[in-house]
Chains A and B, each alone.
Chain A
Amino acid sequence: MSTSLRHVVWELTLACDLACLHCGSRAGKAREDELGTDEALDVVRQLAALGAREVSLIGGEAYLRADFTTVVRAIADAGMVCSMVTGGRGITAALARRMKDAGIASVSVSIDGIGATHDVQRGVAGSFDAAVAAMTQLREEGVAVSANSQLNRLSFPELDAMLDLFLERGCHAWQVAMTVPMGRAAERTDWLFQPYDLHRVFPKLAELAERGRHGGLTLYPGNNVGYFGPHEDALRGALTKTGEGGHYQGCNAGHSTLGLEADGAVKGCPSLPTAGYVGGNVRERSLSEIWHEAAELAFARSDAPSELWGECARCYYASICKGGCTWTAHVFFGRRGNNPYCHHRALELRRRGLRERLVRESLGSGRPFDHGLWRSVVEPDDGLDEWTPEASPPRRRLKLVTTAE
């Protein structure tokens, strides 16, 4: 793979107006020493010089920064595409207009279910209605709107209804990603898929992709939606020019993507844990130096699959896949190179009469981007599924935030 920065995902602030129970970064309060406006604008200049083509602003909730639209305008003026991922709770018509005027190209609104299912995951009553309203406000101001969703045992039964919603709201794309046990999500063991759930998940994703295509919506499997099962071509092949043949190509961290934390820490991917994956800070070194020289950003640039272990080490696709999403593998097992969220792997185990089950052994530290440790247990596949979509975990009675802040 070439190493050429294309896409930057920038956590502009860790402050957030939602309380997502699956938040990997435990967003809510701003970090202690987030970049100031001048520092942020300098980062924009450095990103443009490094050849970045798109900057996606995330959080927390990026619009909570007073200089949010200033940063958006700087990115757009520098010739880069500016996009955003948002929970949408605070996007009013006025804010949508300011975002459009500043030059934002596209906004992806996070929706993890319909109504109460979304509200439970986002920890705020009414957040679903707010997210849908945000889609409407943005579209009315001429901003391209897409959706993104967590794939887990809560959202899975409602994926069809969610697609209907996104088609009706004019979304041009829908990105889905597996919920993994990072941050608060590590405490939601009953939400997370077990690897044997993938036998249900992938046929449904392929069906949704096909239905979405007919409606003008492109379903994008996130990079931890893995890999090389019978629906790989339907999901990833369909995204290529020819409409077939495409496939997952391995972790892109440090290849074409870069992640920035709000205090200036630089990683190869914004999802990766801070510990062990931060290659430097923009307050101490230039972005160019960090990008080209930091070892923490270079782990995925080698073609050698030497870090693979467990089932991934002996996989037919090892040399291409290289253990799939580094983030997913690391937050389960504390090291990369062995990824349990893989359809091909689940099928191979089933062929041998086995299945894999993940058991949590410990929790994380309680800091942003923390994770615990899990154990993978391979056991006889007796066909007795512990979960069916019809028996989703009951929604907890949560003390939800109900007053406007």
Chain B
Amino acid sequence: MGSSVDGAKLLPRRAKQKGAGLFLDACGPAIVLAMSALTVCPSCRRHVFVRDEACPHCAQPRVAPLAALVVSAGLGLTACAASEAPVVRETAPATTANATVNIEPAPQHEADAPPVAVYGPPPIEAKVRRQDAPESSALPSASASANASPKTPLPTPEPLPDVGSGTWHVKKGGVPVPVYGPPPRDPPKRLP
């Protein structure tokens, strides 16, 4: 994972000259630098694991760091920087339900559309039409579509350990059932 680097060395010079005393909470900025497992997508600026070939947030293909260096050196490899890459007009394969990075295959009539990122950019319009809550809070898995013909298979991410999701249904119109937190035991204590 990310290597630890002395945070003090990374402070802005002015801050260093004026001494530290910047870390109110004990931890101090837990900031990681070079050789991190994460990199920044040049398209959406979200952090992406270097092992991922596409950004899970905006679906832009990602360029490996070495390739980016070679390109910038002017050697003209075919791999382009992600921000300059043409839109990938192909569908992605189904992945397992446990995948943390998943790109849903486009419906057949949108076969030319770019792959839809699982995370995606946040919606601009905050108001969301009230609708039945999903049966499960798990990420939508890419159902195996007979029409999906992957050309560039994506690696299957390592699954997270199963620590239990404690998922319950959130019922429309009724009292929401807690998804997280300790299960209700006694009625809440009355406030004085």
Q: Which residues of A contact B (CB under 8 A)?
A: 1-2, 6-7, 9, 53-54, 56, 81-85, 105-108, 144, 146, 148, 172-173, 175, 177, 199, 216, 218, 220-224, 228-230, 232-234, 236-237, 239-242, 244-253, 255-259, 268-271, 303, 305-311, 313-320, 325, 332-334, 338, 347-348, 350-354, 360-363, 373-383, 385
Q: Which of the listed residues A218, A240, A319 has the most CB atoms from chain B within 10 Å of its own CB? A: A240
Cβ-defined contact, B47 with A247, below 8 A: yes
Pick from B39, B122, B163, B170: contact of A313, CB below 8 A. B163
Size band of the interface chain B makes with A: 35 or more
Residue of B nearest to A350 (CB): B122
Residue of B nearest to A81 (CB): B20
Residues of A close to B139: CB separation below 8 A: 314
Pick from A146, A218, A249, A376: contact of B30, CB below 8 A. A249
Indicate with 1 or 0, residue by residue over B1-25, a CB within 8 angstroms of chain A CB atoms.
1101011111110110011111111
Cβ-defined contact, A361 with B137, below 8 A: no
Smallest CB separation, A287 vs chain B (Å): 15
Interface SS, B side = loop
Residues of B close to A348: CB separation below 8 A: 119
Is B182 interfacial (CB 8 A cutoff)? Answer: yes
Cβ-defined contact, A144 with B21, below 8 A: yes
A and B contact pairs by CB, cutoff 8 A, 25 listed = A2-B4, A56-B24, A81-B21, A232-B47, A250-B30, A252-B27, A256-B4, A256-B7, A257-B23, A270-B26, A316-B49, A318-B160, A319-B37, A320-B1, A347-B119, A354-B133, A354-B137, A362-B189, A375-B178, A375-B182, A377-B176, A378-B176, A380-B133, A382-B128, A383-B128
Residues of A close to B29: CB separation below 8 A: 220-221, 223, 236, 239
Residues of A close to B45: CB separation below 8 A: 230, 233-234
Smallest CB separation, A261 vs chain B (Å): 12
Residues of A close to B9: CB separation below 8 A: 241
Residues of B close to A146: CB separation below 8 A: 21-22
